[in-house]
Structure 1
Amino acid sequence: MIFEEEDFEMEITIKPENILRSNGLRKTQIRLEMLQIFMNSNHALSVNDLERDLKSSHDRVTIYRALNSFEENGILHQTPDPNGNMRYAMCSDSCPEHTHQDKHAHFICEKCQQTYCLEDVKIPDVELENGYQLNSITYTMNGICKECQLN
């Protein structure tokens, strides 16, 4: 019997447990819940979003501790929202531990106020004069997202 390549197409599912294990983090209920929420979201989330979506009740200190551990391990990165507050989004696979390599643009919708990571829009390379050390670049665009344009 001859199998075509398409016969072997399988959807690879990444599980929160595997993300925690591969980053050397303990598997706790809040970490599992939070990762699942981020994995199901197509936009960056605020702490208020997390508090609303968490099934179990957790105080803000616990939520921030989990966010910090995710950020320190290259699982999440921060991005500003329209009000200058922080939102969090999943990092790409190219974002190693302790060094975020999120060289993509962020888009803030002026209608729904959501922040989206645009992975295909790369930040241009920047060369600085001698004596300057570049630590980060923020590339944020504002406009109306696809969903809001349809409504």
Structure 2
Amino acid sequence: METLKIAEDLLQSHGLRRTQIRLEILQIFMKQDHALSVNDLEKMLKTSHDRVTLYRALNSFEENGILHQAPDQGGGMRYALCADDCSGHDHKDEHAHFICDECNQTFCLQEIKVPDVKISEDYQLNSVSYTMNGVCKECQ
């Protein structure tokens, strides 16, 4: 199935309007094997959009369980496609991320799940990050 049709179906299944920027962003993510920064997306978009529109689309995707955030080498955030069973209020992307020390790309390692963490009731746990660094297969 072509990426446009998959992107349209994804938007429809999450109750989101079909807009040019949303379709274009989703198609970009479907063709990548690593997480993307906002700067990466801006360079890859075929049509120019202002940053506010781009951030609104990304936030909408994250709120609806289509994208999740992943760390990058500099302490910033990138975005990656969520697993099929994510929803806006219940992201199931509790997996490890691998950051390449050579190319600085962030890869989702879906097969490595974040261990269940138990902490004292004195704290409210909001998220757990499991990040590994090394050299990816392309840079070796």
- Scaled by the length of structure 2, what TM-score is found? 0.94
- The percent of aligned pairs where both chains have the same amino acid is 67
Q: Where does structure 2 lack aligned partners over 5 or more consecutive residues? A: none
Shift of 1:130: 2.6
**In structure 2, which of residues 16, 27, 45 is the aligned counterpart of residue 25 of structure 1?**
16
Q: SS state of the match for residue 16, structure 2? A: coil
Mapped to 2, the partners of 1:93 and 1:131 lie a distance apart of 33
Q: Which has the larger radius of gyration?
A: 1
Shift of 1:12: 9.5
The answer to whether 1:110 aligns with 2:97 is no
Mapped to 1, the partners of 2:26 and 2:134 lie a distance apart of 28
Q: SS state of the match for residue 131, structure 1? A: coil
How do 1:1-151 and structure 2 match up within 5 A? 15-149=6-140
Mapped to 2, the partners of 1:130 and 1:16 lie a distance apart of 41
Shift of 1:94: 2.4
Q: SS state of the match for residue 70, structure 1? A: helix
Aligned CA distance change for structure 1 residues 12 and 40 (closer, same or farther; 3 Å): closer
Deviations for 1:26-55, whole angstroms, at most 9, x for unmatched residues? 000000000000011000000111011101
Aligned CA distance change for structure 1 residues 42 and 75 (closer, same or farther; 3 Å): same
- Scaled by the length of structure 1, what TM-score is found? 0.87
Shift of 1:99: 2.1
Mapped to 1, the partners of 2:64 and 2:72 lie a distance apart of 22
Deviations for 1:106-140, whole angstroms, at most 9, x for unmatched residues? 00000000000000011111111233222110001
Q: SS state of the match for residue 80, structure 2? A: strand
Mapped to 1, the partners of 2:77 and 2:2 lie a distance apart of 30
Q: Where does structure 1 lack aligned partners over 5 or more consecutive residues? A: 1-10
Aligned CA distance change for structure 1 residues 12 and 28 (closer, same or farther; 3 Å): closer
